[in-house]
């Protein structure tokens, strides 16, 4: 039996996480939030005082990445994310932890350590994987590849609303600067840079709503996996 794989890549704040969850629910597929893995690793290394010492303690960092103690608990209301038994569901969504993740993602050895953990998510009946290099590096065999993008300004506005909804203070100028810096780092890294796969379906969500984007995705996916 063929296990269908759908990848949704794109820059930070493009909406790929929200839409990946909706697509996974629509098709009743498993979901991989690869960004959460990098955020969890970044947070773990920060807590251990290793984030600024990755180069000098690379073997130790790789060991932590390989045996990262994480758990995803799905309930009817939401998915809880545990790091070493502690609920960090909201913590890993902060801008600061996003910066940790972006720094971790530039290290080839750490990316390699997380590779097999991501591949292990391929289980019946199918998988929806969102991230930055799902189609280009982790699941190049995916039947449906989507690249979801949006202008930095529109992504900053969405991120501010998201953070405010979590009860956190956020200045759009700071968020925009962070997004632009992260885009540059992700697109220019030497290993698995952020870019669309050659056969990806590219959607720009700058001026269209989530429901319209969702329908575009479903129409494309149906044409690829039937």
> Mean of the pLDDT values across residues 201-221?
96
- Identify the domain boundary among 122, 139, 159: 122
Annotated binding site: 10-18
The total number of structural domains in the chain stands at 2
180 confidence band (pLDDT: 50, 70, 90): very high
Give the percent of the chain with pLDDT over 70: 98
129 and 22 housed in the same domain: yes
Structural domain boundaries, residue 13:
1-29+125-225
- What span, in angstroms and rounded, lies between the C-alpha atoms of 133 and 135? 6
Pair of tokens at residue 121: 């998510």
- Identify the domain boundary among 87, 122, 157: 122
Whole-number average pLDDT of the chain: 91
168: pLDDT strictly greater than 80: no
74 and 143 housed in the same domain: no
74: pLDDT strictly greater than 70: no
Q: Give the closest residue to 146 by CA, choosing from 72, 74, 202.
A: 202
- Identify the domain boundary among 122, 157, 192: 122
72: pLDDT strictly greater than 90: no
22 and 49 housed in the same domain: no
pLDDT tens digits, one per residue of 110-147: 999 999 889 988 999 999 999 999 999 999 999 999 99
74 and 145 housed in the same domain: no
Higher pLDDT, 163 or 86: 86
Indicate which CATH number applies to the domain containing 44. Answer: 3.40.50.300
Q: Give the closest residue to 38 by CA, choosing from 92, 74, 86.
A: 92
75 confidence band (pLDDT: 50, 70, 90): low
pLDDT tens digits, one per residue of 37-65: 999 999 999 999 999 999 999 999 999 99
107 and 144 housed in the same domain: no
The CA-CA-CA angle for residues 187, 191, 194, to 5°, reads: 30
Helix-strand-coil split of the chain, %, nearest 5: 50, 15, 30
96 and 109 housed in the same domain: yes
What pLDDT shows up at residue 76?
57
156 and 97 housed in the same domain: no
Q: pTM for this structure?
A: 0.83
Annotated binding site for ATP: 10-18
């Amino acid at each position: 039996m063929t296990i269908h794989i759908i990848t949704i890549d794109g820059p930070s704040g493009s909406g790929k996480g929200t839409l990946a969850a909706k697509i996974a629910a629509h098709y009743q597929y498993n979901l991989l939030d690869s960004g959460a893995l990098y955020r969890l690793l970044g947070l773990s290394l920060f807590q251990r005082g290793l984030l600024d010492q990755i180069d000098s303690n690379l073997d130790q960092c790789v060991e932590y990445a390989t045996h990262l103690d994480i758990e995803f608990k799905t309930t009817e209301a939401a998915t809880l994310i545990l790091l070493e038994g502690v609920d960090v569901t909201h913590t890993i969504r902060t801008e600061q932890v996003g910066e940790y993740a972006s720094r971790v993602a530039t290290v080839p050895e750490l990316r390699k350590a997380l590779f097999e953990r991501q591949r292990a998510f391929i289980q019946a009946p199918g998988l929806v994987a969102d991230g930055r290099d799902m189609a280009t590096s982790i699941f190049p065999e995916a039947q449906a590849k989507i690249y979801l993008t949006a202008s930095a300004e529109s992504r900053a506005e969405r991120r501010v609303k998201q953070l405010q909804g979590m009860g956190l203070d956020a200045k759009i100028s700071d968020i925009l600067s962070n997004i632009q810096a992260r885009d540059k780092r992700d697109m220019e890294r030497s290993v698995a840079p952020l870019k669309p796969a050659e056969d990806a379906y590219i959607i720009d969500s700058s001026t269209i709503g989530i429901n319209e984007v969702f329908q575009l995705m479903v129409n494309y996916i149906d044409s690829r996996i039937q």
